[in-house]
Amino acid sequence: MAFNLFKQNIFLGIDIGTTSIKLVELQKTRQKIELTNYGILEKYGHLERINDAIQTDSFKLLEESTALLLKQLIEKSKTKNRKTYMALPSFSGFISIMKLPEMPNKELAKAVNFQAGQYIPMPLQETTLDWQIIERTSGKIIVLLMAVPTDIVKRYVHSAELAKINLKGLELETVAIARLLGKKEKGVVALVDIGGRSTSINIMDNGTLRTSHNVDTAGGDFTQVISSGLGINPFRAEELKRAYGLNIQARGEVKITNLLMPLLDVIKRETEKAINNYFLKTKKKAEKVILTGGGANLQGLEDYYSKQLALPVIKGDPFSWGLISYNPNLSPVMKDIGPSLTSACAVVFKDI
């Protein structure tokens, strides 16, 4: 029946971050992929109590409370339970590039599994592996190897079961973001995802992820330094951060920029390191920096990093990039929330 076929083309993407859960509903038609609904559940408790984050660095995803939040989000955004894809935080997994000689696909699968242990710094029997061919030229196959502790995969699957979600796929978020933004961006690019608790620093080349590492400096730390530096409570500090960012024109708040600079420089140095290491390996220079995650919304950040890194810096936003269309009524907010929804959107593109 045509009606059923139409319904099958609606998918949900979910990104469970440290400080918020984001949900998108994407509809695929012959001409385009459109955002038909979204929901963001922000949790402010983390500003006061570090253990109140939705997810903690020790990977203790609190399955039951997460499932409850997921249910609430699905209900509030009035979406239906569709084929759903979830993003795994980049700090929970590990990626590596494998170079292999040309061989038939059947043998390749065996070779990848056989050699994976040399590339992955985790016990293989406790790890869930995934891989994809990213280049196959002149007798060489280049494979992107992805590994996530099986325990974490199980926790996500369990949360989805508890929330009665029809889970079709799980993927490391930076792998997914690189694939989505890589549809437009084919050069060597540093992709910097600034979240609440951690920042993921990646190199993309020819539309796929090549290197990835994480630093523990992110948006939550920006709020903390403003709070302690100005002697104000974290909620007020969060407001000021969002209102002014690095916009030094804003009256009287110049000090915020000075407080943030040492933290921004940590991310800058790590980005430079990733760019330099990739250059040493491949002799290819990064052409630009793409910022994603909620932290990318810090006002003035693109200009600041562009001067500091002497490279063009842009926000990675699938909506303003024309990769996903949306209802024009949403335009004023899409500019602000686009970079935050990137992961949730990107995971859906695994299959569509």
Residue with Cβ nearer ligand ATP (127 or 217)? 217
Query: Distance (Å, rounded) from C-alpha 254 to C-alpha 245?
Result: 10
Convert residues 153-192 into a mask of x (bound to Mg ion by CB under 5 A) and - (unbound): ----------------------------------------
Query: Distance (Å, rounded) from C-alpha 16 to C-alpha 45?
Result: 15
- Angle separating helix axes 173-181 and 331-348, nearest 10 degrees: 110
Residue with tokens 């939550």: 220
State yes or no: residue 294 binds ligand ATP (CB under 6 A).
yes
DSSP per-residue string spanning 134-178: EEEETTEEEEEEEEEEHHHHHHHHHHHHHTT--EEEEEEHHHHHH
Residue with Cβ nearer ligand ATP (57 or 272)? 57
Q: Which of residues 185-204 bind Mg ion (CB under 5 A)?
A: 195
Residue 174 three-state SS? helix
Per rule CB under 5 A, count of chain residues that contact Mg ion: 2
Per rule CB under 6 A, count of chain residues that contact ligand ATP: 23
CB of 296 to Mg ion, least distance (A): 11
- Pick from 13, 196, 318, 338: which binds ligand ATP (CB under 6 A)? 196
**Pairing relationship of beta strands 94-101 and 140-149 according to DSSP bridges:** antiparallel
Q: Which of residues 198-217 bind ligand ATP (CB under 6 A)?
A: 198
Contact 262, 282 (CB under 8 A): no
Q: Which of residues 2-41 bind Mg ion (CB under 5 A)?
A: 17
Residue 234 binding: pick among Mg ion, ligand ATP, none (C-beta 5-8 Å cut-off by kind):
none
State yes or no: residue 316 binds ligand ATP (CB under 6 A).
no
Give residues with Cβ within 8 angstroms of 252, minimum separation 6. none
Residues at the contact surface with Mg ion, assessed by CB under 5 A: 17, 195
